[in-house]
Amino acid sequence: MRLFRYVTVYALLLTLAVMTINPVYAQSRYYAGYYYYGYETQAPWGVGGKIYTIDTSVPSGPIVAWWVTVILSYRYNYWLQIGYEESNTLLHSHPPRYFYECVSRLGYYIHQNFQAGPSAGTWHSYQIVYAQSIQYPKRWILRIDFGPYQKECDVDPYAPKDLQAFVETASNSIIIDGTHFKDLSWYSGRSWPLWNRHVSRADSPYSLIPIIRSDCGDNCEFRAYGGG
């Protein structure tokens, strides 16, 4: 949910500098998944994919989430995101719940849960698509399973700069075995072609297994595991 830093040499050098200055520096977020580009450019006007639902053990405090994202700006940390998450607060643990996020200069950081959530062992489709509305030119649609759970967001800037599909954890003790993304797609304006490129990322102790397919190579499906 906060995988929004430049993928540049500058960012890498800055990270190394922080780690050198502060030996007790601890990574606060861990990621495993795919970028479409891995840098800011003119990206497709939508992202979609199917995510398998797992129900993992989450220690008290941290959160884990599986999501697809449209990046609006790496520099200013603006994005649109939809997926499902699990958390364990001080009061009680939460089973998988659907969520969405809309972050732009139009307002504050927005993180909201839908009333329902997916059941473990089920597949669900997650999409973010530009509304193509003359009346609302900055509007995007975030939806699950093609409509039962849907949210519209107006954002500024509104042009897509990258696409992402990741599992994210707030602790490397969280086990993500069973994570599976497939049929990653981008919106062409009329149809949803499968991803034809990707840049992978897997922060230790997590690992990725790209799935090779005849229709998209290793670009549109992957598994992830590790943690604990």
Read off the pLDDT band of 148 (50, 70, 90): confident
pTM of the model: 0.87
**pLDDT for res 196:** 98
Sign of the torsion formed by the C-alpha atoms of 12, 181, 86 and 59: negative
Domain annotation for the chain: domains and CATH numbers: 9-226 (2.60.120)
| Residue 170 Ramachandran class (φ > 0 left, ψ -120 to 50 alpha, else beta) | alpha
Read off the pLDDT band of 3 (50, 70, 90): low
CB atoms within 10 A of CB 209: 14
**pLDDT for res 88:** 76
The 10s digit of each residue's pLDDT in 183-226 is 999 999 999 999 999 999 999 999 999 999 999 999 999 999 99
Percent of the chain with pLDDT over 70: 84
**pLDDT for res 61:** 64
